[in-house]
Structure 1
Amino acid sequence: MNPEALKLWRAPQWAFSILLALLGMLGPFSIDTYIPAFAGISQSLGATPVQMQQTLSAYLFGFAFMALFHGSFSDSFGRRPVVLWGLAAFTIASVGCALAQSIGQLIFFRAMQGLSTGAGIVVSRAVIRDVYPPSQAQKVMSQVTIFFGVAPAIAPMVGGWLLVHASWHGIFWFLTGVGVFLWLANFFLLPETLHPTQRQHFHIKNLMAGYWKLGSDPRFVLLALASGIPFNGMFLYVLSAPVFLGDHLGLQPQQFFWFFILTISGIMGGAFVSGRVAGKISPKRQIRNGFLIMLIIGLLNLAANLVFKAHVSWALFPIAIFAFGWAMMVPVVTLLVLDLHPDRRGMASSLQMFVGSTANGLVAGVISPLVMHSTVALAASSVLMMCLGLGAWVFIRRKWPEIGQHVVNV
């Protein structure tokens, strides 16, 4: 924590939370905003379905790759420069997407978007822990989690509205405007939160030593898995929404918003509870409660889909409850990740995001296309991904029972 933290932000805490939350939501928001325009872009640029999928994969794997470095750079050069350069690159890439005249150009600029957007979410997590002690950091992290989880749910709604009222080009001009707004807001408002005495020397040997230190720590790897993989139990349904909602549940596109409203409500409710209990119950208990909710509702959802034909009267609620459980526990796990190696918080945030975004890319490019045509397969895949995260957490608790026992003030 920055020894001068109390001097860094004089305005109300909620204003700082909003600034960081907007930074954090840019990455996931940019993933899905243009998905409703796939057909229009394909027709306009003469692209095949495989090429359209490549525009998504290029973004996701660019995001995952560069997520390895954003936090590390911020440990050496400061949080603020990395955020501003990332936002500038994102804005330029969004202009390139809007002006793209071929599918190859769109794939290139989508990759550039992916390479740059991770700066916001990776660095914002490190900023939170620079400024706030653990219990307060959990409250702010919970607020940021609301935006992080809500972003992929509302993005298709925004993109669909822009497609109808403008064009697919308008979606990327909108993202350009978002980039400009965020750059200006952070240029004038975001303080440098990394104290000069806490900066790491930037050279290859020191950088590789940091990656080895974190990557060879089984506690870090397991916590990253526990925080990154369960999200996909919900994200799978977002990615599969056109088939799940349209083909399986028989909803019209204009009715899809019910799914997003319920999912967003679950995320907001879970994050609110996480913030309210910060400092009142132990991290391990809160994480256990979140996983228990996801496990019970995931198994009930699977059983219901095995016995009954999926129907809109009940099929949307398990996803919302799953989202509630995820949002309850993920802020706590994230803080445990950041506090394992306090001198490498930026790098820790980078590696944690790399694990999560790589899982997102695999789900988007491989798992979702394989399972979206069966509600049973969707439910089973959701439970499986949650269980991978749960298994990682159970192993941690048995091997290192002191982790999550109490809030560590460092």
Structure 2
Amino acid sequence: MSTYTEERPATDNRPPSTVRYALILGGLTAFGPLSIDMYLPALPTMSGDLRASSSTLQLTLTAFFIGLALGQLVIGPLSDAFGRRRPLLIGITIYATASVLCALSPSAELLIAARGLQAIGASAGMVVARATVRDLFGGTAMTRFFSMLILVTGLAPILAPVVGGQVLNWTSWRGVFLVLTGFGVLLLIVAALALPEPLPPWRRTPARLGAAARTYLALLRDRAFLGYALASGLVLAGLFAYIAGSSFVLQDVYGLSPQQYSLVFGANGIGIVLLGQVNGRIVGRFPERVLLRTGLLVGAASALAMVLGLSLGLGLIALLPPLFLIISSIGLTMPNITSLALTDHPRTAGAASALLGVLQFVLGGVASPLVGLGGTSSALPMALIMASFGLLALLVYSLMTRRGAAQPLPATA
């Protein structure tokens, strides 16, 4: 692994408050999870209000995922060319405007279109947040910061359905999108006032379509980057399989109440946060690659143990402990894999961040329908899919990222 650390002019600003940056950038990366999960409890009500079938309303999720993918591919190179702030502020403005359109949509078709536009705006926060971390930090300092972001990004998908459910106690589903509008406006103000430009002009790249295409092609040809990106996507595919199948498995198959399911879901999410903080404390004593390999091994081994236990008919005791280890291990894998993927690309961090995010969502999006095809009358299909993705992630990592063995990255900021 290259230990390249780019020199900065003496006038370069350094981040005055790591906590402040963590809160702002964590909020930006939370755009996606909040926008995906907050309105899910309202889908049955929306179906009646908009006179649309449930399958039609599912297209609001599809449109959002497509918008995230396309938006990241466009905004990544733009942030490398014009700096991080301008594309970010424009993106958040688009997000807030589209959220208002979602709240006012009189039909499912207009809601689907507004959701696609909302996703394009949300993608700016997700791309720029990762790229900004690469601009401000290097080496183990970057990994520690990504571990700190887990505090925010790990809790967002857990809290989003809960917040959405509470909002529905006071207002309709349109109120959920107005809350998202307020979240966007708040982050727009905070980013405008408290987030200085982290990318100086001398490190920017020309804004040309051909140059952007060549950058993406070069990234795809980078064996190590592609290996980290694919492995991270496969890890998240396992998480998406869990999200898609766990409610049916735990409630329909094993008879857990909605409250008990929420406790299990929340405990697994807290596991991600806790292990992410452990990772931030021990990185530096152990190389990123060692910690990443450990996380992948724990996830894959736990998934295989879950498959074996369920095949033997052991019930919940074979499901819940391995499930906790699988989901918690993401707190160990994702900070290290993101840091390692971006570390060799300081001048194209926006494009690298975008491609990393696209591959994560594309591979993650494949997992949900696979769980449905496997059926929801047993926990075994979900377990098999999670184990398959976990083993593939470990295999891709082992075969494609051997360069640099386990050399620790320098702790630079």
Pick the TM interval, shorter chain: over 0.9
Query: Unmatched 5+ residue regions in structure 2?
Result: 1-5
Equivalent position of 1:368 in the other structure:
371
Alignment match of 1:41 (pick from 35, 39, 46): 46
- Cα contact 1:265–1:320 (8 A) shared by 2: no
* Cα gap change, 1:255 to 1:161, in 2 (>3 Å): farther
245-254 or 268-277, which moves further after superposition?
245-254
Q: 2: distance between equivalents of 1:113 and 1:317? A: 37
Matched, 1:385 2:386: no
Equivalent position of 2:150 in the other structure:
145
Following superposition, the deviation at residue 262 of structure 1 comes to: 0.9
Equivalent position of 2:172 in the other structure:
167
* Cα gap change, 1:201 to 1:7, in 2 (>3 Å): closer
Equivalent position of 1:261 in the other structure:
266
Alignment match of 1:307 (pick from 301, 312, 329): 312
Equivalent position of 1:88 in the other structure:
93
* Cα gap change, 1:161 to 1:315, in 2 (>3 Å): farther
Q: 2: distance between equivalents of 1:16 and 1:245? A: 38
Q: 2: distance between equivalents of 1:67 and 1:150? A: 23
**CA offset digits 1:177-198 (Å, max 9, x no partner):** 1101111110100110001110
Following superposition, the deviation at residue 356 of structure 1 comes to: 0.3
114-123 or 350-359, which moves further after superposition?
114-123
- Cα contact 1:244–1:372 (8 A) shared by 2: no
Q: 2: distance between equivalents of 1:299 and 1:34? A: 34
Alignment match of 2:221 (pick from 213, 216, 219): 216
Following superposition, the deviation at residue 306 of structure 1 comes to: 1.5
Equivalent position of 1:405 in the other structure:
407
Write the mapping of 1:5-404 to structure 2, written as runs, cut at 5 A: 8=13, 11-308=16-313, 310-311=315-316, 315-364=319-368, 366-371=369-374, 373=376, 374-397=378-401, 400-404=402-406
Work out the number of aligned pairs and report it.
406
Q: 2: distance between equivalents of 1:67 and 1:319? A: 31
Following superposition, the deviation at residue 362 of structure 1 comes to: 2.2
Q: 1: distance between equivalents of 2:411 and 2:277? A: 22
* Cα gap change, 1:233 to 1:190, in 2 (>3 Å): same
- Cα contact 1:134–1:407 (8 A) shared by 2: yes
- Cα contact 2:250–2:256 (8 A) shared by 1: yes
Query: Unmatched 5+ residue regions in structure 1?
Result: none
* Cα gap change, 1:292 to 1:347, in 2 (>3 Å): same
2:349 corresponds to which letter in structure 1? R
- Cα contact 2:15–2:136 (8 A) shared by 1: no
3-state secondary structure, aligned to 1:343: coil
- Cα contact 1:154–1:260 (8 A) shared by 2: no
Q: 2: distance between equivalents of 1:2 and 1:117? A: 31
* Cα gap change, 1:17 to 1:337, in 2 (>3 Å): same
**CA offset digits 1:269-324 (Å, max 9, x no partner):** 1201110112111112111110111012111111122122643x663332221122
Following superposition, the deviation at residue 361 of structure 1 comes to: 2.2
Q: 2: distance between equivalents of 1:332 and 1:10? A: 21
- Cα contact 2:32–2:122 (8 A) shared by 1: yes
Q: 2: distance between equivalents of 1:124 and 1:253? A: 34
- Cα contact 1:5–1:131 (8 A) shared by 2: no
* Cα gap change, 1:199 to 1:401, in 2 (>3 Å): closer
Q: 1: distance between equivalents of 2:17 and 2:345? A: 29
**CA offset digits 1:130-149 (Å, max 9, x no partner):** 11231111111111133223
1:268 corresponds to which letter in structure 2? V
Following superposition, the deviation at residue 107 of structure 1 comes to: 0.6
2:360 corresponds to which letter in structure 1? G
- Cα contact 1:237–1:244 (8 A) shared by 2: no
- Cα contact 1:142–1:271 (8 A) shared by 2: yes
**CA offset digits 1:211-264 (Å, max 9, x no partner):** 111122222211101112212212322233431232123122233320222112
* Cα gap change, 1:6 to 1:318, in 2 (>3 Å): farther
- Cα contact 1:3–1:195 (8 A) shared by 2: no
Q: 2: distance between equivalents of 1:252 and 1:162? A: 21
- Cα contact 1:266–1:322 (8 A) shared by 2: no
Give the TM-score normalised by the residue count of structure 2. 0.93
Q: CA RMSD in A?
A: 2.0
1:390 corresponds to which letter in structure 2? L
- Cα contact 2:238–2:364 (8 A) shared by 1: no
Q: 1: distance between equivalents of 2:247 and 2:370? A: 15
* Cα gap change, 1:381 to 1:322, in 2 (>3 Å): same
